[in-house]
Amino acid sequence: MDHFLTLADLTSDDLRGLLDLAIELKKEWRGGGNRPLLQGKTLGMVFQKPSLRTRVSFEMGMLHLGGNSLYLSPFEIKLGERESVPDVARVLSRYVDIIMARVFRHSDVMTLAEYSRVPIINGLSDFAHPCQALADFLTIIEHKGQKLQRRKLTFIGDGNNVSTSLLFGAALLGMDFTISGPAGYEFPADVWQIGEQFAALSGSRLTSTQDATEAVAGADVIYTDVWASMGQEDEVEERRKAFQPYQVNEALVEQANPDVIVMHCLPAHRGQEITDEVCDGPHSVLWDQAENRMHAQKAILVELMS
Ligand code: CP
Ligand code: NVA
């Protein structure tokens, strides 16, 4: 693996390998025995958007591995404004050993990868959030076991960066995937096609429906995300109206399997896409998910640097 930009670049073996490494690193961390696998290495973190989890979990991950990290805020680099994206890649990759970037346009993270001398990690773009999905599948394995075949993940929301990465991951791992949201907010056809190509190999079943109750029937995992992603601020009102019937509340969760787990990448807009009762209720695994960002990303860092 040269870069980590989207799960669509991985094989199912690559994804399984990363998950196994994350499990191993988490076990070591729990036992208080972090290995300094990235001693003396520095991660450069370029942010065009705000973050809690991505920033802190990458920084802590590098600390555990014996390395350092540099936080570069949206106001410092001004990627593509103060300096072109290729020039940022050329310069930054002369200083640091690996780069994580959170960008608006996915094409910018691809351009960074093209011009960088060191590996690039996508810390969220408008197309994909692969670090999140890796942490999410780690969380699903912890709660549901290693065998994901015939397990069902239902995403309630739009075809966005988070659901795209979940679609690719589920289809690679042989997990069934259903998405439910209002008309006009589905995945673009090319995204669905990639999912179907993976599903044809793994045996996973992919479905899309506007009926949220039908979507959660038999679900082992219900996942939701904000109705308007960062960069879609001018669509907030329109989306709030369209997605109102798609709130993940107790009534919806009751339609799924009794031992369903509920997931959200966070930050959550409590009272909109998910209720307090569900966030803080018995099915919620939200905090495990947030912690697992750190373990999953340590696996990505170690894999890319080895
Ligand atoms: N889930 C996630 O990426 O959180 P942040 O935006 O806080 O990094
Ligand atoms: N879809 C959300 C995820 C935030 C972690 C966004 O892009 O804003």
| pLDDT class of 208 with cuts at 50, 70, 90 | very high
Closest Cα to atom 2 of ligand 1: 53
Torsion of CA 261, 187, 15, 59, to 10 degrees: -80
Closest CA to 306 of 95, 41, 69: 41
**Ligand 1 pocket, Cβ-based, cut-off 6 angstroms:** 51-54, 124, 132, 265-267
CA-to-CA dists, residue 31 to 138, 190, 291, angstroms? 18, 44, 16
| pLDDT tens profile 2-54 | 999 999 999 999 999 999 999 999 999 999 999 999 999 999 999 999 999 99
- Residues 89-112 have a mean pLDDT of 98
Give Cβ neighbours of residue 96 (< 8 Å, ≥ 6 apart): 42, 43, 44, 70, 118
Going along the chain from its start, the domains and CATH numbers come out as: 7-129+293-304 (3.40.50.1370), 132-289 (3.40.50.1370)
Q: pTM of the full predicted structure?
A: 0.98
Q: Which residue bears the tokens 């709660």?
A: 143
Q: Where are the beta strands (DSSP E) in 63-182?
A: 68-72, 98-102, 120-122, 152-156, 176-180
- Residues 184-205 have a mean pLDDT of 98
Catalytic residue flag (residue 279) = no
What pLDDT score was predicted for residue 222? 99
Mean pLDDT, the chain, rounded, equals: 98
End-to-end Cα distance, the chain: 9
Catalytic residue flag (residue 193) = no
Closest Cα to atom 4 of ligand 1: 53
What pLDDT score was predicted for residue 186? 97
C-alpha 111/C-alpha 102 separation (Å) is 13
